[in-house]
C-alpha cells in the first residue's frame, strides 16, 4: 500500500478509503472528512437556526443560500481545526499507536503541506463568513 493511500488505523473502510482519489486522501483525513460527525455537530445548529429564522420571518422555507453556506463553512472550519490539531500534536501522535498512522506523523503530508491546507480551509471559512451581513460577520469574529 502506498503512503498516499495508506489508511488511518482507527478509521478504515470509509468513503475516503474507497472512493476518493489517492492524492486527496491524506488531506481529506487531515480534515477528518473520513469521520464527519464533528462537522455535522457544528452544522445542525446552524441549519436549525435557519429554520427558526424562517418561522420568525413567516417564510415557507429557510434561505437555501444560507443553508449551503453553513454546510461549506461547517466542514471547512471543522477541517481547519482538525488540521491545526494534527500540526500541533504531530510529535505526540507519532508516539501513540492509535494516531501514528495519521497523515503528518506517518509522513503522508509534511507540516508545510498541512499548514498550506490549513490556510486554504481557513480562507474558505472566511469567504463563507464574508458572504453574510455585517452583523453576522461581527458575531463570527466575536
- How many alpha carbons fall within 13 Å on the CB side of residue 104? 25
- End-to-end alpha carbon distance in the chain: 45
pLDDT of residue 13: 72
Cell of 111: 507540516
pLDDT of residue 9: 62
CA distance 39 to 17: 19
pTM for the full predicted model: 0.87
Confidence (pLDDT) at 33? 94
User: Domain ranges in the chain?
Assistant: 23-141
The per-residue pLDDT for 134 is 96
Phi, psi torsion values for 8, nearest 5 degrees: -90, 135
Per-residue pLDDT at 17 = 87
Integer Cα distance of 63 and 65 in angstroms: 6
Mean pLDDT for back-to-back runs of 10 residues, the chain (142 residues): 56 83 95 94 96 96 97 98 97 92 95 98 97 94 90
Amino acid at each position: 500500500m502506498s503512503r498516499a493511500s495508506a489508511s488511518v488505523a482507527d478509521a478504515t473502510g470509509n468513503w475516503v478509503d474507497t472512493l476518493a482519489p489517492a492524492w486527496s486522501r491524506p488531506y481529506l483525513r487531515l480534515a477528518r472528512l473520513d469521520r464527519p460527525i464533528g462537522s455535522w455537530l457544528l452544522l445542525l445548529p446552524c441549519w436549525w437556526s435557519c429554520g427558526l429564522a424562517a418561522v420568525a420571518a413567516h417564510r415557507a422555507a429557510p434561505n437555501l443560500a444560507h443553508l449551503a453556506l453553513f454546510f461549506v463553512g461547517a466542514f471547512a472550519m471543522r477541517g481547519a481545526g482538525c488540521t491545526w490539531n494534527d500540526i500541533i500534536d504531530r510529535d505526540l501522535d507519532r508516539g501513540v499507536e492509535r494516531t501514528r498512522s495519521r497523515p503528518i506523523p506517518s509522513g503522508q503530508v509534511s507540516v508545510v503541506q498541512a499548514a498550506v491546507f490549513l490556510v486554504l480551509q481557513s480562507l474558505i471559512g472566511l469567504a463563507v463568513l464574508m458572504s453574510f451581513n455585517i452583523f453576522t460577520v461581527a458575531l463570527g469574529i466575536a
